[in-house]
Amino acid sequence: YNNANLVLTMTNVMSGGGAVYPLETPRLMDVTNPSQYEFIGWHPKPVRIGHDMKCDATFRCVEEVL
């Protein structure tokens, strides 16, 4: 998920396995200037999957130097 937007559903992931996001690096949605936010990973990390799970894209604000 990116905010409340579902960006990808993966099926048939082996129990105990992991998932890799196959698209370009996520960008924060629903903000005025998405370039001010850097993608830092997924929470929780999509590893050791044993059941259906929801992973949220996480971002940090990158201060622009003027």
**Does position 46 have pLDDT exceeding 60, yes or no?**
yes
Mean pLDDT of 12-27: 88
Q: Is a pLDDT exceeding 80 seen at residue 63? A: no
Average predicted confidence (pLDDT) for the chain: 86
Query: What is the distance between the alpha carbons of residues 9 and 40, in angstroms, rounded to a whole number?
Result: 20
Q: Is pLDDT above 70 for 5?
A: yes
pTM of the model: 0.74
Q: Assign 3-class secondary structure to the chain.
A: CECCECCCCCCCCCCCECCCCCCCCCCCCCCCCHHHEEEEEEECCCCCECCCCCCEEEEEECCCCC
The 10 Å Cβ neighbour count of residue 29 is 13
The more confident residue out of 60 and 63 is 60
The strand pairing partners of 37, in sequence order, are: 61
The yes-or-no verdict on residue 66 having pLDDT over 70 is: no
